[in-house]
A and B are shown apart, each in its own frame.
Chain A
Amino acid sequence: MTRASKVLLTLVVLAAVAVAIFPFYWMIRTSVAAPSEVLSGGLGFFPETVTLENYKRAWEDGALGQSIIVGLANVFGILALQLVTCIPAAYVLAKVPRRWGRVLLTFVLAGLLVPTQVILVPLFIGVNAVGLADSLGGLILPFATSAFGIYMLRQQMLSIPDTLLEAAKTDGLGTIRTLISIVIPMAAPGIAAFSIFSIFVHWNDYIWPLLVARSPELRTPPLALAVFQQADAGMDYTALTAGAAIVTAPIVLLFLVAQKHFVQGMSGAESPS
């Protein structure tokens, strides 16, 4: 590479990075400003004063503190159910040959094609019919299993050598013992990638909680923030950006500590459930 093209490359990459992270900077920058700074019109590029008062308002007035508990219960409730349902199914599809395996796999692959957003109406009719609307169960149960999870874990388990499972059988290990002591440890990277993907999708999910969580105490973080914007805060962007930072921080932190698994999960697919 010539010197000139190197400089050009650096400039383009820096510009792209600037565009990518500017909204995050502006979110933090606004969230620490005094409300009067925003109301008076122009907000300088660099903070003049730094206050955490806005975070307190978002946490309390915007009920974001409360929503985080709901968000965690929602995300980990879904994840627990998905792991319990997906891991055994993936194991059978990958390593226990059955005549009906092919049919079940086709069913799973068909499920992959159907995003939750598109079956929102019938899903809500169903949840409403069984009396789960406006409950934590209504938030969690529709995602109790995941076609993507089954498929992704099956792909991971396919790479476990058959000889290892044969050896386990010779040692007298049954199907369940083999699953717990051999298959799950060996599929751990895939399980981690799927878990992070699931947490990401359901922490960020907005449309389903918007539909199901009617009571204020059931609001997940994104929903609480949306309500905060519509109802109380209006144009108060200092409190709103503080709220946005509270909603975004956990998932960005998760991404930063587990980037490898995260990318593996994301570049696999990005449709929820």
Chain B
Amino acid sequence: MIVAESRRQSRQYVNSVKAESVLPILLVTPATVGLALCVGLPTLLSLVGSFFSIPLVPGAPWQFVGFDNFVFVFTDDAVLQSIVNTFVYSALTIVPSLAIGLGLALLANAVVKGRALVRTLLFLPMTANLVAMSVVFNWIFSFNGGFVNQVLGLLGVAPINWTGDSQTSLLTVAMVGVWRTASLTMMIFFAGLATIPTSIDEATRSDGIRGLVRLTKITLPLIAPTVVFASVMAVLNSVQVFESINIMTQGGPLGSSETVLTMIWKLGFEYFELGRASALSFVLLAVLVLLGVLQRRTLAGGVK
């Protein structure tokens, strides 16, 4: 009888498992199909497309060109300049953004009165629309009557053609980049600092550990995952800069502020060299994926 009972139970179990096994598959299907079509397939296509000359007309045959697109990407002067510019832009933005973001998070945390207001105001650059703010910065850095040149004029400095001079164009968009990215990293550091238990704070204080020692020996090690995450976000933001350049300099003058993403855009949608654009995209993707994997390695255990 016990055997019959357990058989009945197990048959019931099998039936419910059957019904229950289809449903979860149905539940994940839309997301899986969506990711496959909108992320998986394009990623694959960006690799495959790198080896072809692709006409813009849908359905027209692709022509296999071997490694020509990659050769082009690594030998063309304009593309190489855009790669160099991306490195320069990143150098100008990443470290300052992280230093300012961390510094401001620490300082604003120490503010007693009006801390919430200070934090909200410091978050604003991150929240605003970058196209809109680039239009505003265009005006602030405008050669004629722009605020920066007005202030410089008061100091007796001749007006500078910030966005229109190949010496300053990249620097100008980099300043906008720091203005925005420092706000993002500060937001991330704020969240990280909030995870430090107050007991540790009190203990270090009563032990008289403060200043730089406290920062490097206590605070930074405690928020190490946050530091890694903020760094990755700063790098991602810098390497993929687009809006500010598209609005303020269009990559010019003479390609002096062209970056990888604006170059991909030009190759693909102004020169209609979709194969070459795919090749450059794929190089950028490889770099970003490598970066993401490194981040996960560093944060091993962070992902369950």
Contact = CB atoms under 8 A, between A and B. Distances in A.
Contacts of B269: 124, 211
Contact of B233 (A113, A143, A179, A270): A270
Contacts of B277: 121
B contact patch SS: helix
Interface string B113-138: 00000101111111111111101111
Nearest to A259: B120
Contact of B49 (A12, A122, A145, A245): A122
Given A9-B110, A120-B268, A235-B144, 16 more contacts: A24-B124, A84-B30, A112-B292, A114-B43, A115-B288, A117-B242, A119-B46, A121-B49, A122-B43, A122-B281, A206-B243, A207-B242, A207-B261, A222-B132, A225-B135, A270-B236
Closest 8 CB pairs of A and B: A145-B34, A122-B45, A89-B31, A244-B132, A222-B131, A88-B27, A122-B42, A119-B42
Interface residues of B, number: 88
A150 interface: yes
B246 interface: yes
28 contacts: A13-B104, A20-B124, A23-B125, A23-B140, A24-B124, A26-B147, A38-B145, A85-B30, A85-B31, A91-B27, A92-B28, A112-B292, A113-B288, A118-B281, A118-B284, A119-B39, A122-B43, A123-B38, A128-B56, A129-B58, A175-B20, A204-B130, A206-B130, A206-B131, A225-B131, A251-B129, A255-B123, A267-B191
A88 B285 contact: no
Given A107-B35, A120-B281, A126 B129 contact: no
A125 B52 CA distance: 13
A226 B246 contact: yes
B293 interface: yes
B139 interface: yes
Interface in B46-64: 46, 49, 54, 56, 58-59
Contacts, number: 264
A248 B187 contact: no
B268 A145 contact: no
Contacts of A142: 38
Contacts of B15: none
Contacts of B23: 175-176
B137 A23 contact: yes
Given A121-B264, A176-B23, A263 B133 contact: no
Interface string B270-290: 000010011001001100110
A213 B30 CA distance: 25
A27 B242 CA distance: 21
Contacts of A167: none
B107 interface: yes
